Amino acid sequence: MTQQETIILAELQNGLAVGPRPFCALAEKAGCTEEEAFNAVQALVKNGTIRKLGGFINHIAAGFQANGMVVWDVEENRVEEAGKCLSSYQNVSHCYARPRSEKWPYRLYTMIHGRSRKEVEEQAKEMSAWEGIPNYKIVFSVREYKKANRWLV
């Protein structure tokens, strides 16, 4: 690995700069052009040195103050179909299935972000009606713990 690639990897551990040209600051630190930095990152992804490169959006700074994990009681034979439908809603950031238990009948989980609790409740109610899943609960976030970016690269 070149010294430039080593610098780029080290800098990526701290995350890319927020803005319209996030590779500019990376290039400056690595002593190369913006295009070279971008190409180096692409090459590192392609050769498997970087296995995953992702980003986090600060939903609170973006105006989404309410976060509700909606748990859905879906029949076993509808889990795949319902999961695809629920995950397609614009307000859903992620959707996944988990095994149900005797004490917890919910099989699908979706995270809905909204500007208020009422907005999240209305969105879940609408999704319930559209998808024909009447049994659901919303578990609202009360505290967010710091996200660590150590797993980005």
Q: What confidence tens digit (pLDDT) does each residue in 103-146 have?
A: 999 999 999 999 999 999 999 999 999 999 999 999 998 776 66
Residue 96 backbone phi and psi in degrees, to 5: -155, 160
The pLDDT of residue 10: 92
Specify whether the CB–CB gap between 11 and 30 falls below 8 A. yes
Quote the tokens at residue 108.
């699908």
How many CB atoms within 10 Å of residue 139? 13
Across 73-83, average pLDDT: 96
Confidence of residue 151 (pLDDT cuts 50, 70, 90): very low
* Residue 44 clears pLDDT 70, i.e. is over it: yes
What mean pLDDT do residues 76-97 have?
Answer: 94
Work out whether strand 66-72 and strand 92-97 pair parallel, antiparallel, or are unpaired. unpaired
Distance CA 107, CA 56 (A): 26
Give the CA radius of gyration of the chain.
20
* DSSP per-residue string spanning 73-105: ---GGGHHHHHHHHHTSTTEEEEEE----SS--
Q: Which two tokens stand for residue 126?
A: 């609408």
In the predicted model, is pLDDT for residue 82 greater than 80?
Answer: yes
Question: Which pLDDT value is given to residue 68?
Answer: 93
If one counts every other C-beta atom within 10 angstroms of the C-beta of residue 54, the result is 8
Q: What pLDDT does residue 152 have? A: 45
Rounded to the nearest integer, the mean pLDDT of the chain is: 88
- If 0-12 CB within 10 Å is exposed, 13-18 middle and 19+ buried, where does residue 24 land? middle
CATH of the domain spanning 66-140: 3.30.70.3460
Strands of the sheet with 92-97, listed across from one edge: 92-97, 108-114, 66-72, 136-140
**Residue 61: what pLDDT?**
72
